[in-house]
Amino acid sequence: MFSWLMAKYYDYMLRDAEEKCLKDWRKILLQDLSGDVLELGCGTGANLAFYPNTINHLVLAEPNLSMQQQLDLKLKNYSHLPASVLVCTAESISTPDNSFDAVVSTLLLCTVNNPALALSEIHRVLRPGGKLFFIEHVAAQNNPERLKWQKRIEPFWKILQCNCHLTRDTEANILQAGFIIQKINRQSMRGVPAIVRPSIWGIAEKL
Ligand SMILES: C[S@@+](CC[C@H](N)C(=O)[O-])C[C@H]1O[C@@H](n2cnc3c(N)ncnc32)[C@H](O)[C@@H]1O
């Protein structure tokens, strides 16, 4: 029920954030992608508009049927992209080891059940030197008052927002999974409630 509603109104709910910052972050982050690319948890396809024509093959993975339906509708406008759709979770990616040059994870690692397992799967499917391109909202490590509110609200938020967690330390999780961070921006995601604003976006390389 919530996942159907989320899929139907996802683009509408994020509209303000997209206009205020997310579109810019997506555009800058994805502009230099090339080779074989996997996007995990691609949702309604918010990144489709920003994929450059240097991509060889784009695999769009999404486990949720309602999101897939929205994605299919949007994909019709992007027939120039060399894209295929895959049904799998980030914790169990149904492709061989070393099969991608890049993995894209935007607003995903807040939602997966097991971020460490998802990151170890991302590491597995990336080729040596392959890169993880991420945009994630995270715990407010440098703002104790906000972190306190994130912890208080998270139990309810998770239920209403399809398992979205507010207190994940995604930067530490990326490092623990065996990546080095090449570029990172720590910014406030404008256009969303204060508890969701602390964000990181950038590129991590498989060691
Ligand atoms: C907040 S949305 C982000 C959608 C899109 N990536 C974006 O940037 O707008 C999270 C997406 O991750 C998907 N998802 C949830 N759990 C997942 C998992 N374990 N593995 C992969 N995708 C998952 C959801 O169905 C949803 O489409």
Domain encompassing residue 200: 2-206
- Summary mean pLDDT of the chain: 97
Prediction pTM value: 0.97
CA–CA dist 151, 68 (Å, integer) = 31
Provide the pLDDT for residue 1: 57
112 Cβ closer than 6 Å to some ligand 1 atom: yes
CATH number of the domain residue 16 falls in: 3.40.50.150
**What strands lie across the sheet with 198-206, from one edge to the other?**
83-86, 55-61, 35-40, 100-106, 126-137, 198-206, 179-188
- At 24-44, the pLDDT tens digits run 999 999 999 999 999 999 999
Provide the pLDDT for residue 81: 98
At 154, give phi and psi (nearest 5°): -50, -45
Three-state DSSP state, 193 = coil
Nearest atom in ligand 1 to the alpha carbon of residue 113 is 19
Residue 150 belongs to what H/E stretch?
helix 144-160
30 Cβ closer than 6 Å to some ligand 1 atom: no
CA of 141 to the centre of ligand 1 (A): 23
**How many structural domains is the chain composed of?**
1
Mean pLDDT of 162-168: 97
